[in-house]
Amino acid sequence: MKTISIIVPCFNEEETINIYYDAMTKLKEETNKFKLEYWFVDDGSKDRTYSILKDLQRDHSDEVHFISFSRNFGKEAALYAGLNEVTGDYTAVMDVDLQDPPEVLPQMFDLLEAKDSEYDCVGTARMDRDGENKIISFFSEGFYKVINKMSQTKIIPGARDYRLMTRQMVEAIKSMTEYNRFSKGIFSWVGFKTKYLPYKNRERSAGTTSWNFWKLFKYAITGIVDFSEGPLMFATWMGTIFSITSIVAIIAIIIRKFVNPLSSVNGWASLVSIILLIGGIQLLSIGILGEYIGKIFLEVKKRPIYIVKDKK
Ligand code: UDP
Ligand code: MG
């Protein structure tokens, strides 16, 4: 029987872990097609997550493992930590709040196991955005449009992290040791053939989401800066346009001086607005440079992506 390793990031999830584990156990018994190996990652939770995971591991030491971080390093770091530990034939990534439906897992498994299967990974992607905050939907859709225009790495709109992948793909992702991690981009960047199953939005089993608008916004900027040099071109293009415009203007002024030497001095307001516009664009361009330099700074420091406090 093949083994599926499941990576489950948990941040303040005391209410959901046991619900999740029970649902998965039920699924495993019903399908009886694969063995499971769990890698729960306690991402520096402030509630009882750690002790719940410890108990779970003690009671089911044949299949449950956990890693506990020294502080909150973020879901991306938790996924990476899990990838470094898994040993199964296939590896799945799953949220603990049951928003990633367990019953899809056997379907994913069958697709990968099928004779002559052409897929290396089976993922899930949302078909609609029912039940999501309208403002967040608007910005999410905008984000996917922008990143897919600017980046060579294509990201499927609404793709979730929930997926099952082969050992080979896991090794490929592990080889990407960058500090600024954006999984949606990484999954796509490594290539391999991925099949997306339709996914309908569902509510958390318990607890609350740890995302808010501002966190999502910063995450979106990370995604763009990590997988596209597009914004850097902005300064080059604006610089080119303004240089050409100013050369044309200078020529026009010189000609006017010859044609009509008494042309009067006016246009103070337009002058000020042009200076402001150019100043604004310069600052924006410096800001974009700063975003990239900030990422490079973190990358060259080679800090560890996570720090483990306890592991079993
Ligand atoms: N998570 C994590 N570290 C964080 C934030 C979230 O490990 O800093 C985990 C969380 O416990 C959950 C998954 O990532 O298993 C998805 O988080 P959440 O349900 O809060 O996000 P949403 O489903 O609302 O996008
Ligand atoms: Mg969730």
Instruction: Kindly report the pTM of this predicted structure.
Output: 0.81
Give which of 77, 88, 61 is closest to 9, Cα–Cα. Answer: 77
In short, whether 77's Cβ falls inside 6 Å of ligand 1 is no
pLDDT of residue 305: 93
- Ligand 1 centroid to Cα of residue 11, in Å, is 6
Listed residue (95, 108, 113, 106) closest to 27, CA to CA: 106
Between CA 220 and CA 91 the distance in angstroms is 26
Atom of ligand 1 nearest to the CA of 96: 15
Assigned superfamily of 3-228+305-311: Spore Coat Polysaccharide Biosynthesis Protein SpsA; Chain A (3.90.550.10)
DSSP E strands in the chain: the ranges are 2-10, 34-42, 64-69, 90-93, 121-126, 159-166, 194-199, 308-311
Q: How far is CA 56 from CA 10, 14, 42, 302, in A?
A: 14, 12, 13, 34
Ligand that lies nearest to the alpha carbon of residue 13, given by its number in the listed order: 1
Task: Indicate whether 175 pLDDT > 90.
Answer: yes
12: left (phi over 0), alpha (psi -120 to 50) or beta: left
The stretch 100-119 carries a mean pLDDT of: 89
pLDDT at 35 over 70: yes
pLDDT at residue 41 is higher than 70: yes
- Does ligand 1 have an atom closer than 6 angstroms to the CB of 31? no
CA angle 158, 78, 112 (to 5 degrees): 55
Ligand 1 pocket test target in 12, 16, 97 with most atoms within 8 Å of CB: 97
pLDDT the model gives residue 264: 63
Asked whether 75 lines ligand 1 (CB < 6 A), one says: yes
Residue 8 has φ and ψ, to the nearest 5°, of -125, 100
Dist. CA 145–CA 155, nearest whole Å: 9
Atom of ligand 1 lying closest to residue 209 CA = 20
Pairing assessment for the beta strands 159-166 and 194-199 based on DSSP bridges:
unpaired
Question: 35: burial class by Cβ within 10 Å (0-12, 13-18, 19+)?
Answer: middle
pLDDT in tens, 134-164: 888 888 888 888 888 888 888 888 888 999 9
Q: Taking the domains of the chain in order of start, what are their residue ranges?
A: 3-228+305-311, 230-300
Strand order in the sheet with 194-199: 194-199, 121-126, 159-166, 90-93, 2-10, 34-42, 64-69, 308-311
| pLDDT digit string, tens, across residues 179-190 | 888 888 899 999
Per-residue pLDDT at 130 exceeds 80: no
pLDDT digits (tens, 9 = 90+) for 223-279: 888 888 888 888 888 888 888 888 888 888 888 888 887 766 677 777 887 888 888
Does ligand 1 lie within 6 Å of residue 133's CB atom? no
Closest ligand 1 atom to residue 9 Cα is 7
Burial label, 270 (beta-carbon count in 10 A; 0-12, 13-18, 19+) = exposed
Q: What is the pLDDT of residues 69-105, one digit of tens each?
A: 999 998 999 999 999 999 999 999 999 998 888 989 9
